[in-house]
Amino acid sequence: MSAMRDQYRALVVEWDEARDNPREANRLFDSIHALYKELRSSEDGRRAIVSLLDDPITAVRMTAASHSLAWEPKAEQVLEDIEHEGNLHAVTAKWTLRSYRSGKLNLDW
């Protein structure tokens, strides 16, 4: 499971660095999402995602928090903290929380 966790983290870092290249960023985002769906299917996989909530890279924390909202109470606080950082990811964190709290966040695509 640690290899999948490391791959998930590496993909998120690459995605964050590809923000000026939409085609590459979208490709990476789709890869992250596919790996997330695989990880969330087991308890070990969910723990692997949760273990990234304290990562030093904001994009990693934000993605792990967004992906673990359904089972990890700390995820909401992580997104709230990112929302208040005022950085590039603050808007994503804000809208992810709004969607989650209104029951409209769909991660099953």
Beta carbons of 31 and 11 less than 8 angstroms apart: yes
Q: What is the mean pLDDT of residues 20-24?
A: 96
Tens-place pLDDT, residues 90-100: 999 999 999 99
Q: Does the pLDDT at position 35 exceed 90?
A: yes
In angstroms, rounded to a whole number, what is the distance separating the alpha carbons of residues 52 and 24? 23
Structure tokens at 63: 């993605």
> What predicted TM-score, i.e. pTM, was given to this entire model?
0.95
Q: Does the pLDDT at position 41 exceed 90?
A: yes
Domain covering 2-101 in this structure, CATH number: 1.25.40.70
Structure tokens at 88: 């590039």
In angstroms, rounded to a whole number, what is the distance separating the alpha carbons of residues 13 and 15? 5
Structure tokens at 2: 């640690």
Tens-place pLDDT, residues 55-84: 999 999 999 999 999 999 999 999 999 999
**Residue 109 pLDDT:** 84
Q: What is the DSSP string of the chain?
A: -HHHHHHHHHHHHHHHHTTT-HHHHHHHHHHHHHHHHHHTTSHHHHHHHHTTTT-SSHHHHHHHHHHHTTT-THHHHHHHHHHHHTSTTHHHHHHHHHHHHTT------
Q: How confident is the model at residue 1 (pLDDT cuts 50, 70, 90)?
A: confident
